Structure 1
């Protein structure tokens, strides 16, 4: 029997696939592709190319300044980090094309997360997405995987312009009330529709505590997708608000009297199909799950310096305000910065996870997840033991009671945050020396900006950055 001489079908080169995707998007009415990343202040930054340049951008990237890692929250460049101490240099911003989404709320544009690459085509040491990818790979090498999800709180204002002097609440509560949602009914309907179309699965949407605050919960997934979805959700929420004549703010604190916006970060760690946050050990944890939680607790001050890093973040971390102001863990305790949620008969073992409360929009989502994973993995590697949980509001305790339980306040100044970073070799190793240096420089620059301003002016100056 003669062998067939028919060749197998050729596999299209990436450039052909990107050109084909661009053509399909153009035919659907897309005119531009926006590539987005978050800087070291948690602020989304972007570059947009015409749709016919998508293949070129995917292959070669778009040139951006190498100084974005030392851009502070107010668009000032600090040269305090020695490795980025001159205005010279360029990197390439490359869209992650397999995460490309046509935005339902902005149908003329597609959206993609970006990577920052050097001239050699490799990620720069300041590429936050690659820092998270390294921690995911570290877990995989140990036979582990992780799942993560966000609860996003935000303020919704009727003021759709750039006037900061007054905030006009879009609703006035009560919390969890259908009446509150009724007042923003058109926005809520559009938001759920747009998030679904943009590929962001939602667990729930409701009115949160405080005037004009809403919360949307994003379904848990792998860490890189979780960070990408968080970034995409922000864009989608802003667009839906604008379409309804409203304006959204994710700022840690929107006004001095308000309780602020928390972005609760949930994580769980798995070995094959077994959730290690569920087990037959004390409090319903497996031994490895307990060590993961112990790793988070050990490095919590340094973690919070990354996950709640801004000057307004420090204002929000108040005792007895469900903000997680002290370093301890609890089972279901909403005052705990590490709130363990065990499995239940109704929900099963897949539900078990730990929630990080000192977390907000001024954190880069990729770095936030990276330091959480890195600290937890170190706990497992070292088989750390977990102390007993605390089920009370430690903010109501005396100093003597807290000292007896070794419960300490999380950093309340920028200097304390930077000291916590310096004191944690594990978190510094996750970030790497280059990004740690840039991150520290940006935090100092923001602190200097705030020094001669009142807390009201500081909060107003951050209100619409997120």
Structure 2
């Protein structure tokens, strides 16, 4: 889309975004008239952003500069923010190479490497959020009806209509939307895409929901924990692996119709789940959500339609796995890159799957719990060769620095204090 076309549609500037290692979406904006230069030469952005913590404290120095280049193939005019468009970006160094700390560039590379194995992936996100009508930073649920109740749909029907309308205008295909369990909580699911587009769409959907909420005098949060002691926001990933147009998770002779490679893809992920939590459940409040018997998937287990297993296998329709232990503080590009790397390694090594679990793993002797705090997830991540090799030294160092600084920042605080500090960062 050229500048003249954007101007004719009333667009004055393009929000160019990337997601940092703390899971916060950061932005630089380019007026429409300079968009061609931004595409060609990039927008200046400090590499210090690789070491921003969720509260905007910084763990890195001020030296250096990167070039933020918008991907105009994904450029979208924003329906809920008149005068604005949006595009995701990849960050480059000044020699024109993809910055080794750029998560979107990483995901593009990992997806390409998987394709070299003859495998492609389809992915989608389920997005949960809570809506507040409170003043300032206070959280007051914007609806009062029962969990999953039609009352909640009626209470905020106009708001949800505007969310759906804005997303449809932006070309986002929503497959379902409903009230969720926690007070003021809703969920929507978007259609499967290639992994990069799926992550792009997650960023766009979140910011669209945020804008529509503000237009209604409400405030939205995607934080993994909104009220201490309550049910938090997950950000579940649906993922399938394909070869030659055939879904590897169906049509085979294995358990639930899995092919050999489909089972190995899932096995590679299951075996690395503790380490993957450093990417998919990457915040201190993540572990206030990730508790047994809350449908969060707190054990290293998989099972057919088992919502307490970390990996829920879905056989109906187009078979896929749902990764339930990931949440809304994750950088979707990092989380998706980690999953693809783990699944691809599983195929390469011929990983096997344990027996599926058909009950709550918390009730079974011998069930292996996932890490119970962020520090344990970071330790598992630092000991996982596949993820370390895939992400590279610079990105691994930045991720672990951010995680360890968040741990220190929130050390000794009560769950209520942790939630209060982090609720509006996501």
TM-score higher than 0.5: yes
Q: How far did 1:379 drift?
A: 0.6
Q: Is the 8 A contact 2:12 2:83 kept in 1?
A: yes
Partner of 2:81: 106
Deviation at 1:28, TM superposition (A): 1.6
2:124–2:192: 8 Å Cα contact kept in structure 1?
A: yes
Q: Is 1:318 paired with 2:299?
A: no
What does the per-residue CA deviation read over 1:205-247, in whole Å, with 9 as the maximum and x for residues that have no partner?
A: 1001121100010111100000000000011100111111111
TM-score between the two structures when normalised by the length of structure 1: 0.89
Q: Structure 1: give runs of 5+ residues left out of the alignment.
A: 1-17, 80-85
The number of equivalent residue pairs is 425
Number of the residue aligned with 1:206: 178
What does residue 335 of structure 2 align with?
368
How many Å separate the matches in 2 of 1:272 and 1:209? 40
Counterparts of 1:442 and 1:181, CA distance in 2: 38
1:283 CA drift (Å): 2.1
> Residue in 1 aligned with 2:39?
58
Q: CA deviation at 1:62?
A: 0.8
Q: Of residues 236, 251, 257 in structure 1, which corresponds to 2:208?
A: 236
SS of residue paired to 1:326? coil
Could you tell me how far apart the structure 1 residues matched to 2:46 and 2:159 are? Answer: 37
Residue 6 of structure 1 corresponds to none
**How far, CA to CA, are the matches of 2:139 and 2:112 in structure 1?**
44
Are positions 1:96 and 2:66 aligned together? no
Alignment match, 1:141:
116
The answer as to 2:226 corresponding to 1:254 is yes
CA contact (8 A) 2:301 2:361 kept: no
Residue 175 of structure 1: how far off its partner (Å): 2.6
CA–CA separation in structure 2 for the residues paired with 1:387 and 1:394: 13
1:48 maps to what in 2?
Answer: 29
**Which residue of 1 is the match for residue 128 of structure 2?**
153
Distance in 2 (alpha carbons) for counterparts of 1:173 and 1:113: 36
Alpha-carbon separation, structure 1, partners of 2:324 and 2:99 = 30
TM superposition shift of 1:172:
2.3
**Cα displacement (A) at 1:451:** 1.2
Structure 1 residue 174 displacement after superposition: 2.1
Judge which range, 277-286 or 127-136, deviates more: 277-286
- Secondary structure in 2 aligned to 1:373? helix
Moved more, 444-453 or 144-153: 444-453
Say if 2:319 is the partner of 1:355: no
Match of 1:425 in 2: 385
What is the root-mean-square deviation of aligned Cα atoms in Å? 1.1
Give, in angstroms, the shift of residue 364 of structure 1.
0.7
Gaps of 5+ in 2: none
Of 124, 141, 159, the match for 1:169: 141
- Please give the alpha-carbon distance, in whole angstroms, between the structure 2 residues aligned to 1:91 and 1:283: 47
In the TM superposition, what is the alpha-carbon distance from 1:167 to its structure 2 partner? Answer: 1.9
2:415 to 425, 448, 455: 455
Tell me if the contact between 1:173 and 1:210 (Cα under 8 Å) persists in the aligned partners. Answer: no
Question: TM (normalized to structure 2)?
Answer: 0.98
| C-alpha distance 176-414 of structure 1, shift in aligned 2 (>3 A) | closer
